Amino acid sequence: MKVSSWSIVVAAGFSLFAAASLSAQPFSSLSPDVREYVTVSEPVVALANVRVVDGTGAQPLEAQTVLIQDGRIAAVGPSASVQVPEGARTLDLTGHTVIPGLVGLHNHTFYTTRGRSVQLQHSAPRLYLGSGVTTIRTTGGTSPYHEINMKRGIDAGRIPGPHMHLTGPYLTGMDGGATMAQVSTPEEARRIVAYWAEEGVTWYKAYTAISREALKAAIDEAHSRGLKFTGHLCSVSFREAVALGIDNLEHGFFTNSDYAADKQPSECPASMRNSLLDVDLEGPEVRRTIEDMVSNDVALTSTLAVYELSFPDRPPLEQRVLDALAPEAREEYLDVRKQLSERASESTQPELFRRAQRFERMFADAGGLLASGVDPTGIGGALPGFGDQRNYELLIEAGFSPVEAIRILSLNGARVLGVDDTLGSVETGKQADIVVIRGNPVATHGDIRNVTIVFKNGVGYDAARLIAAVKGQVGLR
Ligand SMILES: [Zn+2]
């Protein structure tokens, strides 16, 4: 009786989701190159006796069973009451925790040190997936066709990697970076947005030198196509960008030029950093920024892991990071890290970092939608996936509870991308993008690194095998 009524519910659920299941990707559709990373290939799988942190912010539930069927979560509940169909593969996950697949909103597929910028066509997709990041938004490409082709390869089952949301190149002003679209007029901005829309991007990212006029035109063009806009800004302040209709702002407090007294229109003020160190966090100016963002539904992307690299003697050095890096990239990172350490007493970064953490907490407390991403750039110590996991600890350091931090890393990202009806949490009916972790990251935060299996579309990938495949490759390919 119980089984049959439950089956009806599941059947109804599946027909409801049929239209949305564009990314269904059964094991049978994967190429041999991807299958070599798969450790759970059966269509019906029960994750039994496991702790569930479902990504909604709810408290962990013990002794649960998560039933995966044909790429979807068919049931979640106490192990004693979830009916496991005959023939299912059951994994006894006593001592393990499951969380939703992470949704990384600032997750480049390129990587930098102070000496290099390298497209990680091989290592980024494997590192993301192996670290439990099952969905990424690229948020500025230095080689957009690399990313378009990576996404095609992943969607076709030829490359192991996360679901990808593409942004195309950065849009900036005339003195921007060499790989960026340097936009001088509103017409040019519209033309560039239109071109990349045709190429399949769904988001755009503005950068620090864009003019207000060009940004306005670009946002309007994107919105007219149903596409969205984010920015790592400076020449346009947060409140100005909100007024122009932007959907998301990257990096939080660090890139906010609202408080620079010498701010000229469309110019990045030299005093921005000092203004961030000086402004009263509890004062009216900061409150106005947050109020503008919240009342206009502008999301904020936290990227603490990359900014922490400028904080002397942080983060703790991890052997797995050193192992994944190519020898030259490792040397470049450790070299700059040493320089920062030698000048630690003069550094204002610790104070700025604490302020940025406080700002993120205030934004979320005010009802703002806070998500996160790694941003594997800067001096090169925040690696794809590994840095997303570090964000978990840094958000907890900022004052979020572990379950809140998990929500920021998963469901909130899905909400920003507008895919939260199909993924982002461990709930019945959703796509089976699930991370299995040995231990309990709620009690022992560092356990977030102990990823053993990553389910994407219900197919279980061996995390260790994916990470092993990039040994010595980050910084090369
Ligand atoms: Zn970035």
Give the CA distances from residue 191 to residues 201, 212, 241, 315, in Å, rounded to whole numbers and listed in that order. Answer: 14, 16, 20, 42
Cα-to-centroid distance, 86 and ligand 1 (Å): 47
Cα-to-centroid distance, 426 and ligand 1 (Å): 28
Cα-to-centroid distance, 140 and ligand 1 (Å): 6
Task: Give the relative orientation of helices 349-365 and 386-397 as an angle to the nearest 10 degrees.
Answer: 80
Cα-to-centroid distance, 472 and ligand 1 (Å): 23
Give me the pLDDT at residue 20, please.
Answer: 41
| Rounded CA separation 238/223 (Å) | 19
Cα-to-centroid distance, 252 and ligand 1 (Å): 12
Burial 342-371 (b: 16+ CB within 10 A, else e): eeeeebebeebbebbbbbbbbbbeeebbbb
Print pLDDT tens along the chain (477 aa): 334 444 444 444 443 443 344 457 899 999 999 999 999 999 999 999 999 999 999 999 999 999 999 999 999 999 999 999 999 999 999 999 999 999 999 999 999 999 899 999 999 999 999 999 999 999 999 999 999 999 999 999 999 999 999 999 999 999 899 999 999 999 999 999 999 999 999 999 999 999 999 999 999 999 999 999 999 999 999 999 999 999 999 999 999 999 999 999 999 999 999 999 999 999 999 999 999 999 999 999 999 999 999 999 999 999 999 999 999 999 999 999 999 999 999 999 999 999 999 999 999 999 999 999 999 999 999 999 999 999 999 999 999 999 999 999 999 999 999 999 999 999 999 999 999 999 999 999 999 999 999 999 999 999 999 999 999 999 999
Cα-to-centroid distance, 108 and ligand 1 (Å): 7
| Rounded CA separation 59/389 (Å) | 20
Give me the pLDDT at residue 421, please.
Answer: 98
Q: Which residue in the block uniquely carries the two structure tokens 């990697």?
A: 161
CB neighbourhood size of 21 (10 A): 16
Cα-to-centroid distance, 375 and ligand 1 (Å): 5
Give me the pLDDT at residue 9, please.
Answer: 41
Cα-to-centroid distance, 249 and ligand 1 (Å): 11
Looking at residue 420, the DSSP 8-state letter turns out to be T
Cα-to-centroid distance, 105 and ligand 1 (Å): 10
Helix boundaries (H) for 297-385: 304-307, 319-324, 327-342, 349-365
| Rounded CA separation 132/139 (Å) | 19
Query: E strands along 79-179, which residues?
Result: 89-92, 96-100, 102-104, 110-112, 117-119, 133-137, 163-165, 170-172
Give me the pLDDT at residue 24, please.
Answer: 77
In sequence order, what are the beta bridge partners of 370? 300
Beta carbons within 8 Å of 293's beta carbon, 6+ residues apart: 238, 242, 249, 300, 363, 368
CB neighbourhood size of 252 (10 A): 23
Cα-to-centroid distance, 438 and ligand 1 (Å): 31
At 289, list the tokens: 């920024």
Cα-to-centroid distance, 141 and ligand 1 (Å): 9
Cα-to-centroid distance, 163 and ligand 1 (Å): 18
At 288, list the tokens: 């106005």
| Rounded CA separation 383/118 (Å) | 13
Cα-to-centroid distance, 433 and ligand 1 (Å): 25
In 3-state terms, what secondary structure has residue 48? strand
Cα-to-centroid distance, 333 and ligand 1 (Å): 18
Do the Cβ atoms of 263 and 237 come closer than 8 Å? yes
Do the Cβ atoms of 329 and 475 come closer than 8 Å? yes
Cα-to-centroid distance, 96 and ligand 1 (Å): 33
At 260, list the tokens: 């620079």
